[in-house]
Amino acid sequence: MNKKPAKFDLVVVANRLPVDREVGPDGEAGWRQSPGGLVTGLAPVMKTHDGAWVGWAGTPDEEIEPFDLDGMRLVPVPLSNDEFTQYYEGFSNATLWPLYHDVIAPPEFHRTWWDAYLRVNERFAQAAVTVAAENAVIWIHDYQLQLVPGMIRKLRPDVRIGFFNHIPFPPYEIFAQLPWRKQILHGLLGADLIGFQRPYDSANFLRAVRRNVGTVARNGLVRVTDENGEESHTAKAQSFPISIDAAELERLALKPEIQERARQIREEVGNPEVLMLGVDRMDYTKGIRHRIKAFAELLEDGALSVGEVTLVQIATPSRERLEHYKQIRHDVELAVGRINGEYGGLSTQAVNYLHHSFPRDEMVAFYLAADVMLVTALRDGMNLVAKEYVATRVNHDGALVLSEFTGAADELRQAVLVNPHDITGLKAGIMKAVEMTPRESARRMRALRRRVAEDDVQHWSRMFLETLAGLRRDN
Ligand code: GDG
């Protein structure tokens, strides 16, 4: 297969391919579509168009031939072990991630990491143009690949280029710290359409463009010039808030066996009156420490008591070799240990802490089991967990406590909105959710559910691709 590379009308480029390796019953290794939101949002368009997905398969130092799965061509881009360390763990997750999340942790700037980022972005761009048909649409995703739009434009002026940033774009005063800020802006401006989660992110980007590139930005439009000062094309920046596959989550939430599992989960934690839930990657941006601190103080104050209330905190392992991730895990585990030591009993724990990941069905059972969902991120591009919780509340009960610093807070206005830095305010928000009357919960949940059902992930991908297709081409 694949001696002569086939050409595709729609090419998605993301750091990871949307697949996980799986060993089948026959002991043979194969691939299974991973449950991520991105693939759900794109699957319908990938199948109706001739779709290819370019990305890393997840293991360093491994060369894999392109293959087909679920109607998509998957095109693996290899990464060496050093590139994984410098491009992915280094520049992407220890430079850009903290910089773009309000420098909650200090970003590190290393020229060797930048060199690796440049080299790997070039490889992704090459892989994408190799499989793109004449006049194809190429849609690039996220902060790991910000140079790819500019690189593709140089190689293939015929294609339409979209870029979507899943994480926040920071205020200029923070972005300006980046020694390679101009290169990043030029890379992004190679796209015809640059999508962000919130209008605020798009405004931050345009401000950075005004300060560094000097082209005039109006109505989100930027006239881009090439190295010789010749006008090249117009790029547009706009917000497209991402969402979830709401119908699929609702379908799972209505399954009797998943509802039964939710009842079991409540029983396993001692049938509390109120089960509170947190679901996050173990990441310092998610505000897990702030949430646990507020919960501990509520126990200390006597506003809540163990037995009546319990907190289930799922923190899935993430970026575990990085120092700041080791630190946050240590801090969270210390805090959990302290609370349980102080307030727990032999059979009742204050915090049920789970540092592993779960299958999709089990996640839905957890959402169904929870009376109060705590999303207290210090900064988050969108936060899909908040939307998933809402989508599973088929009985219109439960309350969502949601940080103002998530993209989701722009849309989910009927949540109990909190500032997680304000521990007193966070405690008040948690109590408001705990004490909310069923009538009030139902009123809020209905409005929240309507919003998530209308603006689902299929709507998101359609809006982005339609906007990209509708842009005037004047280059
Ligand atoms: C980035 C941005 C933006 C978590 N644990 C398990 C599991 N999950 C799933 C959740 C949810 C997803 O992972 C996490 O999405 P979030 O949006 O909450 O956060 P990030 O991972 O930081 O995502 C974020 C997003 O990109 C999309 O643009 O919203 O702001 O940071 O879907 O359910 N899923 C399963 N088991 C787990 O243990 N199956």
Helix (H) or strand (E) run with residue 31 in it: strand 29-33
> Do residues 65 and 97 both lie within one domain?
yes
Question: Strand, coil or helix: what is 192?
Answer: coil
- pLDDT averaged over the chain? 94
My answer on whether 206 and 271 are in the same domain is no
Q: What percent of the chain has pLDDT over 70?
A: 98
Report, in angstroms and rounded to the nearest whole number, the Rg of the chain calculated over CA atoms: 23
pLDDT at 44: 73
Residues 194 and 260 in one domain: no
- Out of 101, 141, 142, 166, the active site residue is 166
Q: What is the atom index within ligand 1 of the atom nearest the CA of 388?
A: 33
Q: For position 77, what pLDDT does the model report? A: 98
pLDDT of residue 11: 97
Same-domain status, 289 and 217: no
**CA–CA separation, 112 vs 223, rounded Å?**
32
30 within some domain: yes
**Whole-number pLDDT of residue 43:** 76
361 an active-site residue? no
- 423 burial (CB, 10 Å; 0-12 / 13-18 / 19+) is middle
- Element at 39 (helix H, strand E): helix 37-48
Ligand 1 pocket check for 38: Cβ under 6 Å: no
33 and 88 co-located in one domain = yes
Q: Per-residue pLDDT tens for 349-361?
A: 999 999 998 999 9
Establish if 362 belongs to a structural domain.
yes
> What pLDDT was estimated at residue 255?
98
Helix (H, G, I), strand (E, B) or coil at 276: strand
Tell me: pLDDT of 278 over 50: yes
- pLDDT value, residue 5: 55
Kindly report, residue by residue over 312-350, the tens digit of the pLDDT.
999 999 999 999 999 999 999 999 999 999 999 888 899
Test site for ligand 1: of 383, 388, 403, 460, most ligand atoms within 8 A of the Cβ:
383
Q: In what order do the strands lie in the sheet with 231-239?
A: 67-69, 72-76, 51-56, 8-16, 132-141, 160-164, 193-196, 231-239, 221-225, 217-218
Question: How many helices (H) and strands (E) would you count in the chain?
Answer: 18, 18
Determine whether the shortest distance from the Cβ of 382 to ligand 1 is under 6 A: yes
Query: Cβ(386) to ligand 1 under 6 A?
Result: no
**Are 78 and 219 found together in one domain?**
yes
Q: For residue 105, give its domain range.
A: 8-242+458-474
Residue 444 Cα to ligand 1 middle (Å): 23
Residue 165, pLDDT score? 97
Over 60: is that where the pLDDT of 454 sits?
Answer: yes
pLDDT score, position 271: 96
CA-CA distance, 218 to 215, in Å (whole number)? Answer: 10
For residue 66, is it within any domain?
yes
pLDDT for 369-395, tens place per residue?
A: 999 999 999 999 999 999 999 999 999
Q: pLDDT: is 217 or 282 the higher one? A: 282
Q: How confident is the model at residue 229 (pLDDT cuts 50, 70, 90)?
A: confident
Per-residue pLDDT tens digits for 77-110: 999 999 999 999 999 999 999 999 999 999 999 9
Residue-level pLDDT at 192: 97
Tell me, yes or no, whether 237 and 302 share the same domain: no
* Structural domain includes residue 308: yes
Does 125 map to a domain? yes
CATH code of the domain containing 256: 3.40.50.2000
Asked if residue 395 and residue 259 are part of one domain, the reply reads: yes
468 shares a domain with 409: no
Residues 233 and 254 in one domain: no
Q: How far is the CA of 372 from the centre of ligand 1 (A)?
A: 18
pLDDT of residue 227: 78
Torsion over CA of 187, 192, 197 and 199, rounded to 10 degrees? 100
Report yes or no for ipTM above 0.90.
yes
Q: Has 166 been annotated as catalytic?
A: yes
| Ligand 1 centroid – CA 311 distance (Å) | 20
- The predicted pLDDT at position 346 comes to 87
Residue 1, in any domain of the structure? no
The structure tokens listed for 26 are: 């026959």
355 with 238, same domain?
no
Query: Do 182 and 323 belong together in one domain?
Result: no
Residue 3: inside a domain: no
Atom 19 (ligand 1) nearest CA: 383
Closest atom of ligand 1 to 360 CA is 39
How far is 175 from 181, CA to CA, in rounded Å?
7
Q: What are 172-223's pLDDT values in tens digits? A: 999 999 999 999 999 999 999 999 999 999 999 999 999 998 777 778 899 9
CB of residue 166 inside a 6 A radius of ligand 1: yes
Count up the domains in the chain and report the number. 2
Residue 474 pLDDT level (bands cut at 50, 70, 90): low
Answer whether residue 266 is part of any domain.
yes
Nearest to 376 by CA among 441, 280, 440, 275: 280
What are 132-160's pLDDT values in tens digits? Answer: 999 999 999 999 999 999 999 999 999 99
Confidence of residue 70 (pLDDT cuts 50, 70, 90): confident
